[in-house]
Structure 1
Amino acid sequence: MAALHPQLVADTVPVCRLALSHVLLMKDANYPWLILVPDRDNITEIFELEATDRDTLMDEISFVSSRLKTAFSADKINVAALGNMVPQLHVHVIARFHGDPAWPAPVWGKMPAAPFGDGDLDRWLEGLRDILQP
């Protein structure tokens, strides 16, 4: 198993494991914000993945995006692989809403992360694990 970058460890909570990727929940209650991290060492870009892994990652992104959109009735799903701050390949999948704190701008740098309230994190994790079962 590839070790997670320290920033990912600090900013997220593990949700589940898919065929290729670890699914993490961003510690920000402002948005349903998941991060997929392929379990491969020394990969910083999607194009560096082997073709079969790249196909699997695209399938996982589509699967997670679809489940988030349906479960949260999202207006839009944002998908991004930036890696400017965290070089380990990771893909953000964020459910967005017309009334969310950053709409229509990107989520980065708009609002401070909102902590989950008492018991909320456990409820989010349970719900996400439920919808992300294949």
Structure 2
Amino acid sequence: MAPTLPAARGSLPPEGALAPGGGPAALESAAPACPLCDTDGGALIWRGARLRVIRATEAGFPAFYRVVWGAHVPELSDLSGADRAHCMAAVCEVEQVLREHLQPDKINLAALGNMVPHLHWHVIARFAWDSHFPAPVWAAGQRPRAAAQEADIAARLPAAEATLRERLARLG
């Protein structure tokens, strides 16, 4: 099963919002809460003043992280230049630590926001043995899950996350 975020929030306008008299007020009053504003969105690894890093609990993908911007903005271009640089520095730190500690075959980076329009980057360590490789984690699986390899990666995450906290703390 491909990883998913919480139920599709904001993927379609609320019923009646596009009807005569519906308009923006109907959209605002019916707008669902943002799951990345309302919750950490996974196991919190580190929180700074501007962003946080979480480990997503996605079956079959033990090293699936998200860098979540603190303010509710949908696009990277909504940030100032300094904030964009800070966000991307955090994404790069997560990638580098995963490469150092886990030696994945590939790191996937994605900032889609189609399901949850709140700026967040997926940073996913990928392995040739994972059930979906080389396809994206959101595609159909290509083989059964590799439980022993997943457990090996999961056992290495505490050390990786300790390194990640140290490096992110330096970013501020």
TM-score (norm: length of structure 2): 0.62
Cα deviation for residue 10 of structure 1 reads 8.2
**Considering only aligned residues, what root-mean-square deviation do their CA atoms show, in Å?**
2.7
1:1-134 residue pairs with structure 2 within 5 A?
5-6=34-35, 9=39, 12-18=42-48, 20-31=50-61, 32-41=63-72, 43-110=73-140, 126-132=158-164, 133-134=166-167
Q: Conserved in 2, the CA contact under 8 Å of 1:71 and 1:131?
A: no
Q: 1:11 to 1:17 in 2, by over 3 A?
A: closer
Other structure's SS at 2:87 match: helix
Cα deviation for residue 5 of structure 1 reads 3.0
Q: CA offsets per residue over residues 91-113 of structure 1, 9 Å max, x none? A: 000000111111000001435xx
Q: Conserved in 2, the CA contact under 8 Å of 1:81 and 1:92?
A: yes
User: Which region of structure 1 is more displaced relative to structure 2, 52-61 or 21-30?
Assistant: 21-30
Contiguous gaps of at least 5 residues in structure 2: 1-32, 146-150, 168-172
Cα deviation for residue 11 of structure 1 reads 5.4
Other structure's SS at 1:106 match: coil
Aligned residues: 122
Contiguous gaps of at least 5 residues in structure 1: 115-119
- Cα distance in 1 for partners of 2:116, 2:93 equals 24
* Alignment-derived partner of residue 117 in structure 1: none
Q: Conserved in 2, the CA contact under 8 Å of 1:78 and 1:95?
A: yes
Q: Conserved in 2, the CA contact under 8 Å of 1:11 and 1:27?
A: no
**Which structure features the higher share of strand residues?**
1
- Cα distance in 2 for partners of 1:96, 1:89 equals 22
TM-score (norm: length of structure 1): 0.78
Cα deviation for residue 129 of structure 1 reads 2.9
Q: 1:125 to 1:5 in 2, by over 3 A?
A: farther
Matched to 1:129, the amino acid is: E
Which of the two has higher C-alpha Rg? 2
* Alignment-derived partner of residue 18 in structure 2: none
